[in-house]
């Protein structure tokens, strides 16, 4: 019974982690950027969805749409105002671009977080779920919303898979992650590809944010934790490897759920941190990473 | 040339700082005292990042280990302050050596993550053993450095000046150059016959020593050790922002950045919640348009590099 409960709860939360981390790892794989404003962007999506759906009274569907749109807008600003100027700046030495992108996106994330806290307070907010009610799965009471979360997460990931592997644009993304210079020589405009990646990232982070808001509730104070968990999942799975991230998301999700149910909710994240340290020492490239 | 120029700026500034207690009130002194301890955090971080090329996302791991070691010894065994400070600094050096082990094997984001995880683990441990460590609320200390604002201010100023001088001197010495070389191209530095591992390990230990000592001094100034003041990720983030803002690879810039960061936070306090927003925005603008930071700009005008 308890095992089944853990299996179901863990699956839903892991799917959500997987979706959140996919966008993060995609950006890294294609353009080599670690976006530390990730958590804040997810928070923005959730809070806008909550505001439009609830206070504004537009209903959960329009709310979700508005949340994703807000996240998309944030992603564009992140790229065009912070990441691109740093990458193109002649006065920053190449080996230091990375730390500048990290610091820049970190500051941007703090700005977003503070803006949300200022405009909407930092109280936890729960987005009105798209589906209400509960169903019994083999005797375990499962909210319909939990199932929907898992289904939507996997739908989004599936669509991304199709986009990357089956379409011409998607293949150019793949090519950009392997050899950007080669792609430029073939006549592709690299900056268009980066814009596309950030657009995909914005949509994925938005969906993840809205679903998270409906599933667990979100407060602006969570931004840092969300970034840290996406970062850990991505490193655990191997930077830039999408399938590695998906696997890592399930490892992390189940480990956390099991700790919370079997030991104590207060040490929920500790085993994951220990696992992470162990993996990074023994296999620095992550579970499925390539060097 | 650089040295004389730097001295010409630094010495008068320090003199003005030393004379400040004659002119300003206790409140501002208290603020600057805090800023000076942060300056030491940021300068130690700059030694690791600017010179050894290691991006340490968890400066508050080293600070926290030093601070809590001193706090626990003082609270439970009633050790007097000086041995507590020594023990705190020593514990931080051990922590720094532990952190250096992955740093020698990992690079870039991987090492960054390990340092981040180190902070999260320390924070979790402190909160889990709240019965001993005081958890989120903090651990009150029977001893404080001094209850007089002026004395506290001079302790902090003297500490910052001495640490700054040592770290700056080190960074300008041959050792600093070797560090810089190993940070920028470890393989070539090794090929030239320098022991990269040894130098990096030393950089970690020195950085940890000053971070831990400053952390321990800070809690004896505040009279309490809590997760929010010495361990939280936000503390580390502030240290990093201060160092990058002031100008990386300058040591002195890190101190300038810290004083600016704390001062700006205070001046903008009337904005309430928005003050953090504005400070971050200013920092972002500086990073985007003047990547060298405050000091980088100043020193470049001098024509070095």
Q: Which residues of B touch A91 (CB under 8 A)?
A: 291-292
* β-sheet bridge partners, residue A218: A125
Which chain B residue lies closest to A240 (C-alpha atoms)?
B109
Q: What average pLDDT does the segment A6-27 reach?
A: 90
Q: Is the pLDDT assigned to residue B304 strictly greater than 50?
A: no
Task: Locate the DSSP E strands across A29-143.
Answer: 134-137, 140-143
Top-confidence residue, A134 or A206 = A206
Does the domain at A2-282 match CATH 1.10.3470? Answer given as: yes
Closest by Cβ to B105, choosing from A82, A91, A284: A284
Q: Is the pLDDT assigned to residue B305 strictly greater than 90?
A: no
pLDDT of res. B2: 58
pLDDT of res. B302: 47
Instruction: Verify whether the Cβ–Cβ distance B110 to A115 is below 8 Å.
Output: no
How far is residue B64's CA from residue A246's CA, in Å, rounded to a whole number?
34
Interfacial residues of B (vs A; Cβ cutoff 8 Å): 49, 53, 55, 102, 105-106, 108-110, 112-114, 116-117, 120-121, 124, 127-128, 184, 233-234, 237, 240-241, 244, 248, 273-274, 276-277, 280-281, 283-284, 287-288, 291-292
**The dihedral sign for the CA sequence B22, B28, B30, B34:** negative
Instruction: Verify whether the Cβ–Cβ distance B128 to A267 is below 8 Å.
Output: yes
The answer to whether residues B133 and B124 touch, using CB atoms and an 8 Å cutoff, is no
Q: Which residue reads 């470890």 in tokens?
A: B186
Q: Is the pLDDT assigned to residue B64 strictly greater than 90?
A: yes
Instruction: Verify whether the Cβ–Cβ distance A103 to B244 is below 8 Å.
Output: yes
Q: Which tens digit of pLDDT belongs to each residue from A17-66?
A: 999 888 888 898 888 888 989 999 999 999 999 999 888 777 888 999 99
Cβ atoms within 10 Å of A73's Cβ, excluding its own: 16
Instruction: Verify whether the Cβ–Cβ distance B240 to A103 is below 8 Å.
Output: yes
How far, CA to CA in Å, does A141 sit from each of A16, A88, A161? 20, 53, 32
pLDDT of res. B301: 52
Q: Which residues of A touch B237 (CB under 8 A)?
A: 106, 110
Instruction: Verify whether the Cβ–Cβ distance B287 to A108 is below 8 Å.
Output: no
DSSP letters, A101-124, are HHHHHHHHHHHHHHHHHHHH-SS-
pLDDT of res. B121: 87
Tally of CA atoms within 13 A in the half-sphere of B236 that contains its CB: 24
Instruction: Pick the residue of B117, B238, B299 with the most A CBs within 10 A to test the interface with A by mutation.
Output: B117
Q: Which residues of B touch A96 (CB under 8 A)?
A: 248
The answer to whether residues A5 and A261 touch, using CB atoms and an 8 Å cutoff, is yes
Q: What average pLDDT does the segment B65-81 reach?
A: 93
Q: Is the pLDDT assigned to residue B3 strictly greater than 70?
A: no
Report the alpha-carbon angle A118-A119-A122, nearest 5.
Answer: 60
Instruction: Classify residue A107 by burial, with Cβ atoms within 10 Å: 0-12, 13-18, 19+.
Output: buried
pLDDT classification of A97: cutoffs 50, 70, 90: confident
The answer to whether residues B113 and A237 touch, using CB atoms and an 8 Å cutoff, is no
The answer to whether residues A257 and A9 touch, using CB atoms and an 8 Å cutoff, is yes
pLDDT classification of B299: cutoffs 50, 70, 90: low
Q: Minimal CA–CA distance to A214: which of A54, A7, A74, A75?
A: A54
How far is residue B110's CA from residue A208's CA, in Å, rounded to a whole number?
25
The answer to whether residues B67 and B216 touch, using CB atoms and an 8 Å cutoff, is yes
Q: What average pLDDT does the segment A259-274 reach?
A: 84
pLDDT of res. B1: 46
pLDDT of res. B303: 41
Q: Is the pLDDT assigned to residue A158 strictly greater than 60?
A: yes
How far, CA to CA in Å, does A256 sit from each of A269, A270, A288, B186, B287? 6, 8, 21, 38, 37
Q: Is the pLDDT assigned to residue A71 strictly greater than 90?
A: yes
- Please give the structure tokens belonging to residue B218: 């800070």
The residues, any chain, with a CB within 8 Å of residue B128's CB and separated by 6 or more, are: A266, A267, A270
Instruction: Verify whether the Cβ–Cβ distance A235 to B110 is below 8 Å.
Output: yes
The answer to whether residues A271 and A255 touch, using CB atoms and an 8 Å cutoff, is yes
What pTM does this model have?
A: 0.86
Torsion of CA A243, A248, A249, A250, to 10 degrees: 100
How far is residue A226's CA from residue B144's CA, in Å, rounded to a whole number?
38
pLDDT of res. A285: 75
**In percent, how much of chain A has pLDDT > 70?**
99
How far is residue A219's CA from residue A50's CA, in Å, rounded to a whole number?
11
Q: Which residues of A touch B129 (CB under 8 A)?
A: none
Closest by Cβ to B102, choosing from A232, A267, A280: A280
The residues, any chain, with a CB within 8 Å of residue A284's CB and separated by 6 or more, are: B105, B106, B110
Instruction: Pick the residue of B291, B299, B300 with the most A CBs within 10 A to test the interface with A by mutation.
Output: B291
How far is residue B237's CA from residue B240's CA, in Å, rounded to a whole number?
5
Cα of first residue to Cα of last residue in chain B, in angstroms, is 12
How far is residue B249's CA from residue A182's CA, in Å, rounded to a whole number?
35
Which chain A residue lies closest to B233 (C-alpha atoms)?
A224
Instruction: Classify residue A89 by burial, with Cβ atoms within 10 Å: 0-12, 13-18, 19+.
Output: middle
Q: Which residue reads 């592709």 in tokens?
A: A188
Q: Which tens digit of pLDDT belongs to each residue from B202-257?
A: 999 999 999 999 999 999 999 889 888 888 888 888 898 899 888 888 888 899 99
Q: Is the pLDDT assigned to residue A234 strictly greater than 80?
A: yes
pLDDT of res. B221: 93
**Domain locations in chain B as residue ranges:** 52-229, 232-305
The answer to whether residues B171 and B299 touch, using CB atoms and an 8 Å cutoff, is no
Task: Name the H helices within chain B.
Answer: 2-23, 26-46, 59-76, 81-105, 108-128, 130-133, 149-172, 174-184, 186-191, 196-222, 227-230, 233-246, 252-267, 274-289, 293-301
């Amino acid at each position: 019974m308890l095992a089944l409960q853990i299996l179901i709860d863990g699956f839903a939360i892991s799917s959500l982690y997987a979706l959140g981390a996919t966008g993060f790892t995609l950006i890294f794989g294609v353009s080599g950027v670690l976006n530390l404003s990730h958590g804040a962007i997810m928070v923005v999506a959730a809070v806008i969805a909550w505001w439009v759906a609830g206070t504004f009274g537009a209903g959960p569907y329009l709310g979700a749409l508005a949340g994703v749109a807000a996240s998309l807008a944030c992603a564009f600003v992140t790229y065009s105002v912070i990441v691109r100027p740093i990458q193109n700046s002649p006065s920053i030495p190449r080996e230091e671009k990375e730390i500048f992108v990290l610091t820049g996106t970190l500051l941007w994330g703090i700005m977003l977080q503070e803006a949300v806290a200022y405009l909407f307070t930092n109280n936890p907010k729960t987005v009105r779920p798209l589906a209400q009610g509960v169903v019994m799965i083999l005797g375990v009471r499962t909210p319909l919303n939990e199932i929907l979360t898992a289904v939507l997460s996997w739908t989004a990931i599936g669509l991304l898979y199709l986009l990357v592997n089956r379409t011409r644009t998607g293949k150019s993304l793949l090519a950009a992650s392997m050899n950007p210079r080669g792609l430029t020589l073939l006549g592709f405009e690299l900056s268009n590809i980066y814009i596309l990646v950030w657009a995909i990232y914005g949509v994925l982070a938005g969906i993840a944010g809205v679903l998270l808001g409906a599933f667990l509730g979100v407060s602006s104070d969570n931004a840092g934790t969300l970034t840290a968990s996406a970062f850990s999942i991505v490193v655990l799975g191997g930077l830039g490897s999408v399938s590695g991230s998906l696997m890592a998301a399930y490892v992390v999700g189940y480990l956390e759920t099991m700790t919370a149910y079997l030991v104590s909710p207060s040490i929920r994240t500790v085993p994951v941190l220990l696992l992470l340290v162990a993996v990074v020492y023994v296999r620095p490239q992550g579970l499925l990473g390539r060097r | 040339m650089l040295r004389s120029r730097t001295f010409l700026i630094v010495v008068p500034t320090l003199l003005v700082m030393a004379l400040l207690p004659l002119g300003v009130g206790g409140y501002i002194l208290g603020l600057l005292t805090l800023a000076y301890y942060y300056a030491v955090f940021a300068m130690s971080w700059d030694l690791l990042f600017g010179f050894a090329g290691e991006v340490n996302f968890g400066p508050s791991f080293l600070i926290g280990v030093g601070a809590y070691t001193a706090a626990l010894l003082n609270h439970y065994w009633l050790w007097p302050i000086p041995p507590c400070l020594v023990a705190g600094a020593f514990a931080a050096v051990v922590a720094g050596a532990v952190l250096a082990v992955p740093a020698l094997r990992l690079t870039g984001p991987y090492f960054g993550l390990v340092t981040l995880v180190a902070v999260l683990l320390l924070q979790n441990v402190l909160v889990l053993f709240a019965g001993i460590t005081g958890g989120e609320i903090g651990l009150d200390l029977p001893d404080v450095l001094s209850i007089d604002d002026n004395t506290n201010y001079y302790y902090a100023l003297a500490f910052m000046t001495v640490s700054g001088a040592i770290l700056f001197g080190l960074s300008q010495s041959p050792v600093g150059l070797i560090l810089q070389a190993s940070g920028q191209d470890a393989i070539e530095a090794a090929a030239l016959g320098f022991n990269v591992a040894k130098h990096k390990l030393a950089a970690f230990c020195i950085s940890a020593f000053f971070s831990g000592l400053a952390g321990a001094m800070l809690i004896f100034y505040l009279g309490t050790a809590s997760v929010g003041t010495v361990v939280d990720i936000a503390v580390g983030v502030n240290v990093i922002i201060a160092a990058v803002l002031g100008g990386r690879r300058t040591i002195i810039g890190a101190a300038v950045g810290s004083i600016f960061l704390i001062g700006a936070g205070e001046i903008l306090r009337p904005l309430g919640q928005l003050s953090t927003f504005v400070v971050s925005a200013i920092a972002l603008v500086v990073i985007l348009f003047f990547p060298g930071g405050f000091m980088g700009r100043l020193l470049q005008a001098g024509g070095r590099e």
